[in-house]
Amino acid sequence: MSQGNSPIRRKLIVVGNGMAAGRMLEELFARVPDGFDVTIFGAEPRVNYDRIMLSPVLSGEKAYTDIIIHDDAWYMRHRIDLRRGDKIIAIDRTAKTVTASSGAQLIYDTLVLATGSDPFVIPVPGNDLPGVVTYRDLDDVEKMLLAAERGGKAVVIGGGLLGLEAAAGLALRGMETTVVHLMPILMERQLDQNAAYLLQKAIERRGIQVLTSANTSAILGESGVTGVQLADGRVLDADLVVMAVGIRPNATLARSAGLAVKRGVIVDDMLRTDDPDIYAVGECVEHRGQCYGLVAPLYEMAKVLAATLANESTLGYSGSVTATKLKVTGVDLFSAGDFSEGDENDEVVLRDPARGIYKRVILRSGQIVGAVLYGDTGDGPWYFDLIRSQADVAEMRETLIFGQAFQGGATLDPVAAVAALSDDAEICGCNGVRKGRIVEAITAQGLTTLDSVRSVTKASASCGQCTGKVEALLAATLGAGYPGGGRKPMCKCTDLTHDEVRGFIGTKGLKSVPAVMQELGWKTSCGCPSCRPALNYYLLAAWPGDYRDDPQSRYINERVHANIQKDGTFSVVPRMWGGLTTPDELRAIADVADRFKIPVVKVTGGQRIDLLGVRKEDLPAVWAQLNAAGMVSGQAYAKGLRTVKTCVGKEWCRFGTQDSTGLGVKLERLMCGSWTPAKVKLAVSGCPRNCAEATVKDIGVICVDSGYDIHIAGAAGLHVRATDLLGHVDTEEEALEVCAAVLQAYREQAVYLDRLYKWVETVGLETVRKTIMDDLGERRALYDRFLTSQRAVRKDPWAERVAGQELHEFTPLLKLNAVPLPALQD
């Protein structure tokens, strides 16, 4: 049907702006891009975000911006009228209108209810006191974060999935946390007693007290929460109480409109209510007597509803088998299907107490009906696929518990294992993405990278635990055409990647190399030359005020503060701030060269003087004499700042526009001593003629008449790369702040030994520009963290030791505290 040349666009109103509604609209737009005029009413004043990722936001692993599913541009691109913070309060089914709390009244052709669920609040005295929060949306998380800033004690009522994730997040935020659970075991709906026992031990090892078989009788306090009283008389002190005891479908609007409602809004297999123009999807739905609170069923419903609205043929929604994974960093847990006791059940169990592994697979009539995995969950998707397909596994029973890799008499590598899964196998539980969807996207759209698969399918875009399987699918689908090569472990000592290790250091509060190796299951006793320097750097970057730099985890050049040469002697390079020197410094260098018979004295490309051919045994005395003359190391060996090259600038050059030498000195004094993933070189050119070659440095500043152009990500070594323009600032103070913020972001995010340009290629120039140039608050936060780290470097006792000690302990940075450093006042 059409009017003229334009198709009639049906008026579609969606009540709710959550994950189910968002996925339904994605599927609908893919089928009929111009079929509907869409209006969304959302109770929250935000765009659609990933509620599954609230726990990483609470723990500090992610920020709100990291979990946005649909940004403002997405709504604009699809011409969606998004009504934020405006709830629908009434439906007139006869007039086919909805009325919002703002007073707006709109007509619909089709109405979709996606009102989600409400958290259950136990009916005890004090449940409405200030300090009592539920755990359902970002507002709840922000309340918990505010409470955590004040410190104190938190009580989480409920030992299910959400309760444990909340408790873990609050504990990581520094609160003394207790979990109160009514049932005898944690997560009783998803776990058996053995897995629950292991889980409780893991939770308690995090410093969280767990009370099971504990019934809450009252929440205490007058103007705010002060405690929780249990039915047995015990009182737990509390500054914050989190209710995480379950959810119930939000069917209030549907019920008031006269739609059929039991526990949730009753729908048929096409997600249609008993009104032919009204549909429902998500947690508010009751289908065949079942209500679902996990994302995979919601996304299955969304796909069916989109097909229905697009008038496509569909088999409809027939219900879901669900699987559960706990999103607490460092706790591996998977549960799926029915694992209740029964005479007709056959079970296969594997226990490995030393490794903390427990696996139980339940069979009935030769088929898997349930699986519980703790400590090693890699085969979870395979078991889940067998449960869903109701496959006959009788012939593989003897090896079933050892997982997919041991079937058929041969061991499968990860690529072969994921390739052997059925197209219906779920790969990404967070976003309900199945293998067939990923393979179809790879082949149809020519995807070749993990990021492109994430962008198109959402697989591995949330918690990231399925990243390895997605990469294996890329490798299996593309074969030799896949450039990624799969996950790259940090080294032979661990199966974890650099990013995973760095994440665990922060989330688990690991503050020493032995702690990292013990908690993350290192395969060797002391690490290796590849991982120890990386761990030392990651710990130094994560805990600048707490972690003590380990000299023995540094390379030889860093330990002796000189570069070893091919003949076994060393090269000593004192620092010359911004390329400037004085007659006294030159005399000191000449005296050292004479005294120690140093055969070669050379001017370097970084505007410094290099003393070549120093014997190892002379290094302490060489540095002692240079230190006495006021000179510190130029750190020509460092995974850190090396030089800031400058031209003479406007003070001497007729083309100069700014004081490039002065800015170079300030930058070098500001950044001196800052350890980074790889070497860092800067330059400041006084005009666009660029005599200091700033456009091939990690960070370069080009002075112009109106201020300073900041460039990043250059290189002039084996890989020659011109810089990218990051942005322009007007003042010298802004230039210092921007350069330090870039360096801090690089320090916090890059893989050890990756140069700055590799980091920019990984995260994207636009991301860096948005963070540093557009978000002034984030730039200031990065700058402040940089200053905090620099203060820790200046106060490190290791940097204040004097000559005469063992060579590996000696450092030529002992006068660093006396160096005036801009903006580093306490």
Rounded CA separation 638/671 (Å): 13
Q: Is 687 annotated as a binding residue?
A: yes
CA distances from 65 to 68, 73, 726 (A): 6, 14, 21
> Which residue(s) pair with 495 in the sheet?
none
Q: Is 647 annotated as a binding residue?
A: yes
DSSP string, 291-357: ---SHHHHHHHHHHHHHHHTT-----------EEE---TT--EEEEE-----TT-EEEEEEEGGGTE
CA distances from 683 to 605, 654, 662, 665, 728 (A): 12, 19, 12, 10, 16
Residue 287 DSSP SS3: strand
Angle in degrees, CA 278, 279, 282, rounded to 5: 145
Rounded CA separation 406/134 (Å): 44
Rounded CA separation 762/206 (Å): 33
Cβ distance 161 to 203 under 8 Å? no
Cα within 13 Å of Cα(353), Cβ side: 0
Q: How far is CA 137 from the centre of its chain?
A: 19
Burial of residue 711, with CB atoms counted within 10 A of its CB: 0-12 exposed, 13-18 middle, 19 or more buried: buried
Using left for φ > 0, alpha for ψ between -120 and 50, and beta otherwise, residue 148 falls in: alpha
Q: Is 463 annotated as a binding residue?
A: no
User: Where are the extended beta strands (E) located within 120-206?
Assistant: 132-134, 153-157, 176-180
Q: With CA atoms as reference, report the closest residue to 305 among 356, 353, 355, 268.
A: 268
The sheet carrying 235-237 orders its strands as: 216-221, 225-230, 235-237
Q: Is 428 annotated as a binding residue?
A: no
CA distances from 83 to 69, 76, 277, 732 (A): 17, 13, 21, 43
Which residues have a Cβ under 8 Å from the Cβ of 506 and sit 6 or more positions away?
A: 60, 61, 542
Q: And the tokens for 415? A: 């690529």
List the binding residues for siroheme.
Answer: 691
Q: Would you list which residues are annotated within the binding site?
A: 647, 653, 687, 691
Binding residues for [4Fe-4S] cluster: 647, 653, 687, 691
